[in-house]
Amino acid sequence: MKKYLIYALALVWMGCGSGMPDHIEECPSIIPQPSQMMCFDGSWSSEAGMTIEVNERSKEEGEWLADWLDKRMGARPEILQKRSKAPGKGNIYLNVIKGDTTSEGYTIQVHPDFVWITAESGHGIFNGLQTLRQLAGAEFEVRGGSTLTLPFIMIEDHPQFGHRGMLLDCCRHFMEPEFVKRYIDLLAFHKMNTLHWHLTEDQGWRIAIEKYPLLTEIGAWRTEEDGSRYGGFYSRSEMEDIVAYAKRQHITIIPEIEMPGHSVAALAAYPELSCRQVPVEVEHEWGVFKDIYCAGNDSTLAFLKDVLLEVMEIFPSEYIHIGGDEAPKFRWEHCDKCQQRIQTMGLADEHELQSWFIGEINTFLQQHGRQLIGWDEILEGGLPKGTAVQSWRGMDGGMQAALSGHAVVMSPTSHCYFDYGLDATDVEEVYGFDPIPAELPDSLHRWILGGECNMWTEHAPQETVDSKVFPRMVALSEVLWSYPESRNYGEFHRRLTDHYSMLDALGVDYGFECVPIQINARTGSGGMDVEAVAQLDPVSIGWSSAAMPEEVMDYLGPLHITGRQEMVFHTQWKGKTYGDIPFGVCFHRGINHDFKLNYAYSPFYTGGGDSALVDGILGTTNFRDGHWQALQFENMDIEIDLGAETELNGIATRFYQYNNAWIFLPTEVVISAANAAGEWTEVARLKHTIPLEEKGQFIHEFTLDRAFTASKIRMEAINIGKNPDWHDSPGEPSWLFCDELILK
């Protein structure tokens, strides 16, 4: 039916007084792309005395439009309440008609005689007004003028998904209330409708709760490594103000109160809520921590219910997010009360205990007319009835939930984690996202409510958030609004290019669309050829050695490196500087020989494939840069066949440690050599003195600086195997990461 609506509108136009302008092919750039558009030659311009006509159900949107015009035209149009069904000449008419009040669709007609937006709800009208803003253009948005000019157009538009959101983590870094409001504006402008507000974490409790003042007196503040204090929280009146602000722009705020994990800040304020009941500090490191709410303690549940009561007083959203992710079960395994609960409730294990815990909270929320949503870990141990799942560890959790009749919001790390670098997820990848898993039967598509992008802020203080969210969120807004058959990346990219002027007008400090260069390194004659290929147009490229990053040279063509060179590429696009792009190569004597891997590397960290350890390409301090090869469970064990007895000057090999990510240096690296007869001898055992507890992300180079002869070389790096007992995820399989075995 909707398909033909636009033709019906065209017939209405023919009946109107001023005649029909000529139909044209070229339409203005609008993001997200409207469902249907017909464009016509010419434009409508406002005249003095223009009024906004509203009916009973579009009054608020009329006020919003009047305010918006007032700021840009320096005069607030009068708002007239109308009874007739047709717009008055020269006016803007916002008409809510009878129908589905949850519908967010609208039609907009810019006709020689009037501008007419029709919808079945105020939200639909509001979405139409966001389209009107894009039709008015960036110049009017930023500088305004005495006349509003809009191209002649007819649009029929409605979203594919009802849930189009963004998570903003205000815990790892605190975001000022004005900043949160600005994001509400930006979401609304892109016809998104949900702000998922992440309010409690290990590193800070940000929501004032009257009954438990220590949550913000203690829990909102952490002591950083350098001794400084960091924190902040939202008072009740600030949150109420933000909720009211969001409501006016038809943005639903879903608060997230994490449980049972990610709760160290709350436990710092009230240690009696934890299993050990001993004082802990608000965390200042990033990661997953063992101390979580005690599920065996009745007063913990009573506390959480009290907190949720206040949360529900502030936030009217249907859904309340309770987290549920990344809750290590270690404390529960060693807690008498938790074990007692498992016994008395007849539960099989700690996973069922989590399921029971979530079930209690679910019942409580439902008693108060709300729905529970949690991360996909809430599936483990059984999903309580009526709960919704937010799938982040891929789409499988969401798929499983949909198959069992649970509502789903999709935000897989593969497409929706905007805290990740562009090397992990660039705009084109976001645009390729489809929240509906290909294998999900058509009859179950309705369970997929939509999707969200997640802006976690461990590495993103407020002033950097724009550059991570934009322009990726622009792509996501179209993915969630439009239908897949209407999407084409090239065509979207053309509109995105136009859209930058709008983002500039809105003061968005957007970042890059993708990593601006692709670096290719090949072994050439007697060295390595390193080439930087521009991925954006135009992008300027410079490079320097890593040792002297300030001495930047223009990149004029492939670099021929005969030895070892760690370098940094510097790029600029639209006057913006992309962060340093480090790259290292080493042309060494292990390259171009046969080799054998006595292990299976992870498909997630291939380092580029079998030859990763002898390809001459060094990894960087970003273990996801594609040059690190990694494995769990086994030792890394490689043999290189040099073809003939060869005198070597030594060996260097590089491993990585980042214990928060379960990555540890090997306990030792054993080097053996075989002579031409194939007889093996051990050459060296390379050890290190770095504690496993050493924090941060770093590379350690194991070296052997002495000459020896070999026909074959073998390196065995001994994996520690499991995370140590002191680790926050003890006993889990640790990772071994290596980028190269350099034969000197």
Binding site for ligand ACM (CB under 6 A): 325-326, 375, 392
Q: Say which DSSP state 664 is in.
A: -
- SS3 (DSSP) at 402: helix
Cis peptide before 461 (omega within 30 of 0): no
**Binds 296: which of Zn ion, ligand ACM, none (CB < 5-8 Å by kind):** Zn ion
Q: Which two tokens stand for residue 685?
A: 């055992």
**Binds 506: which of Zn ion, ligand ACM, none (CB < 5-8 Å by kind):** none
Indicate the residue among 332 and 456 with the shorter CB distance to ligand ACM. 456
Query: Cβ of residue 266: shortest distance to Zn ion, in angstroms?
Result: 14
Query: Measured between alpha carbons, how far is 107 from 1 in angstroms, rounded to an integer?
Result: 14
Query: Measured between alpha carbons, how far is 444 from 464 in angstroms, rounded to an integer?
Result: 39
**Binds 326: which of Zn ion, ligand ACM, none (CB < 5-8 Å by kind):** ligand ACM
Query: Measured between alpha carbons, how far is 51 from 433 in angstroms, rounded to an integer?
Result: 42
**Binds 493: which of ligand ACM, Zn ion, none (CB < 5-8 Å by kind):** none
Indicate the residue among 338 and 686 with the shorter CB distance to Zn ion. 338
Burial grade of 679 (CB within 10 A; 0-12, 13-18, 19 or more): exposed
**Binds 294: which of Zn ion, ligand ACM, none (CB < 5-8 Å by kind):** Zn ion
Task: For residue 259, state whether it binds Zn ion (rule: CB under 5 A).
Answer: no
Task: For residue 294, state whether it binds Zn ion (rule: CB under 5 A).
Answer: yes
Select the residue interacting with Zn ion from 159, 255, 296, 516 (CB under 5 A). Answer: 296
241 φ/ψ angles, rounded to the nearest 5 degrees:
-65, -45
**Binds 607: which of Zn ion, ligand ACM, none (CB < 5-8 Å by kind):** none
Query: Cβ of residue 343: shortest distance to Zn ion, in angstroms?
Result: 13
Indicate the residue among 236 and 624 with the shorter CB distance to ligand ACM. 624
Query: Cβ of residue 336: shortest distance to Zn ion, in angstroms?
Result: 8
Task: For residue 304, state whether it binds Zn ion (rule: CB under 5 A).
Answer: no
Query: Cβ of residue 392: shortest distance to ligand ACM, in angstroms?
Result: 4
**Binds 275: which of ligand ACM, Zn ion, none (CB < 5-8 Å by kind):** Zn ion
**Binds 265: which of ligand ACM, Zn ion, none (CB < 5-8 Å by kind):** none
Task: For residue 338, state whether it binds Zn ion (rule: CB under 5 A).
Answer: yes
**Binds 392: which of Zn ion, ligand ACM, none (CB < 5-8 Å by kind):** ligand ACM
Report CA-CA distances (Å) from 2 to 105, 107, 416, 450, 671.
Answer: 10, 10, 30, 21, 71
Indicate the residue among 350 and 376 with the shorter CB distance to Zn ion. 350
Query: Cβ of residue 509: shortest distance to ligand ACM, in angstroms?
Result: 24
Torsion of CA 26, 32, 35, 37, to 10 degrees: -20
**Binds 335: which of Zn ion, ligand ACM, none (CB < 5-8 Å by kind):** Zn ion
Select the residue interacting with Zn ion from 65, 275, 282, 736 (CB under 5 A). Answer: 275
Indicate the residue among 109 and 354 with the shorter CB distance to Zn ion. 354
Indicate the residue among 375 and 628 with the shorter CB distance to ligand ACM. 375
Task: For residue 337, state whether it binds Zn ion (rule: CB under 5 A).
Answer: yes
Report CA-CA distances (Å) from 475 to 98, 135, 429, 489, 496.
Answer: 32, 19, 9, 9, 8
Indicate the residue among 375 and 664 with the shorter CB distance to ligand ACM. 375
Indicate the residue among 333 and 429 with the shorter CB distance to Zn ion. 333
- Other CB atoms within a 10 A radius of the CB of residue 604 amount to 8
Report which of 78, 204, 141, 176 is spatially closest to residue 499, judged by C-alpha positions. Answer: 141
Find the residue with minimal CB distance to ligand ACM. Answer: 325
Our measurement of the distance from residue 457's CA atom to the centroid of its chain's CA atoms, rounded to an integer in Å, reads 10
Residue 606 near residue 627, CB atoms below 8 Å: no
Indicate the residue among 118 and 274 with the shorter CB distance to Zn ion. 274
Rg (CA), the chain: 30
End-to-end CA, the chain: 72
Which span (10-18, 275-283, 352-360, 698-706) binds Zn ion, by CB under 5 A?
275-283
Nearest 5°: CA angle at 231, between 226 and 234? 175
Residue 117 near residue 108, CB atoms below 8 Å: yes
Indicate the residue among 376 and 716 with the shorter CB distance to ligand ACM. 376
Residue 662 near residue 733, CB atoms below 8 Å: yes
Query: Measured between alpha carbons, how far is 703 from 705 in angstroms, rounded to an integer?
Result: 6
Query: Any bridge partners for residue 23, and if so which?
Result: 40
Give the residues lining the site for Zn ion (CB under 5 A): 275, 294, 296, 335, 337-338
